[in-house]
Amino acid sequence: MIKTLRAILKWLSEPAAVAAAMVCATTAIAQPFYVPSGSMEPTIQIGDALLGSKFAYGYSRYSLPYGVGPQSVRRLFGRLPHRGDVVVFRLPRDPKVTYVKRVVGLPGDHLQMVHGRLFINGQAVPLKRAGTGQVEEEDGSRHAIDRYIETLPGGSGHPIFKSGWNGPLDNTALFVVPKGHLFMMGDNRDNSLDSRVAAADGGVGMVPMENLVARADLTLGSIDYLNAESPVGWLARIRLSRFLHLL
C-alpha cells in the first residue's frame, strides 16, 4: 500500500512541478493575452496575441491568478509607467474584465480633448499626418481611415487612427489625474472606451496603479478567429506579419 502511494506521488510530482512553474512564470515573468477588439488599432489588431511583461511595474494582487492577493495601494517593487506604454490592466469598475490601452496621463497631469486634439498640461500634443490605414470593425469589415503620429511629452511617438474632430469624445472637461492613478486612451481614438468616459458612466475612468497587470511588449501572433465563419477559416485569418511584432 505504501509502495503504491509512493508510486502515485512520484507520478504526480512531475506534472505538479510543471504546473507550479507555469503559475510562477505567468505571475512573475510574462503572460499572454488575446485581444478581441479594435480599440488599439493600428498598434494592436483584432486577434493579436500579446506577450505582457509582469515585472515591468512591480506586482499587485492582480499579478496573481484570479486577483486573489491582498488589496493594497502600493505595488511590490512598483515602478511608474512611462507615457506611451501599452498596458494591460483590470477594469476598475469590474476587475474580472481585462483591458489594454496606452498610458497618456501620469499622476498630477491635466488632460483635455479639444476638437479632437489631446492637450496635456496645457500644451497640445504634436500630431503629424501619416497617410491612411485600414481599420477593422468587430464584424470583420474594413474601411479606410486617416492615420497620424502622436508624440507625447517625453518624446514617445505612436500611430493613431482618427476619422473626425467633433465626435462624442473629442471635446471633454479638464481631467486631473489623481495620485496613484493613470489616464488611459486607445489609439483608435473614435472607437475606444477609455479614461475619457467615467466609470460611473460605463467607461474606464482613472486607473489605479494597483490594477496594472503587465506591460504589453510584443505580439506573439495574430489569428482573427472571431470573424472566421468556421474553424476551417482560421487559416485564412492568420497574419504572419504580426508574429513576433514589437509594440
Positions annotated as catalytic residues are 39, 101
CB distance 42 to 132 below 8 Å: no
One-letter amino acid for residue 24 of the chain: C
Phi, psi angles (nearest 5°) of residue 220: -75, -30
The C-alpha atoms of residue 33 and residue 50 are separated, in whole angstroms, by 5
* Cα dihedral across residues 160, 179, 97, 212: positive or negative: positive
Beta bridge partners of 143: 135
The C-alpha atoms of residue 161 and residue 29 are separated, in whole angstroms, by 32
Q: What do you get for the CA distance between the two ends of the chain, in Å? A: 56
The residues, ordered by sequence, that sit 6+ positions from 95 with a Cβ below 8 Å of its Cβ are 62, 67, 211
The C-alpha atoms of residue 85 and residue 197 are separated, in whole angstroms, by 20
The C-alpha atoms of residue 23 and residue 19 are separated, in whole angstroms, by 6
The C-alpha atoms of residue 85 and residue 122 are separated, in whole angstroms, by 21
Q: Give which of 95, 91, 97, 58 is closest to 77, Cα–Cα.
A: 58
The C-alpha atoms of residue 187 and residue 184 are separated, in whole angstroms, by 10
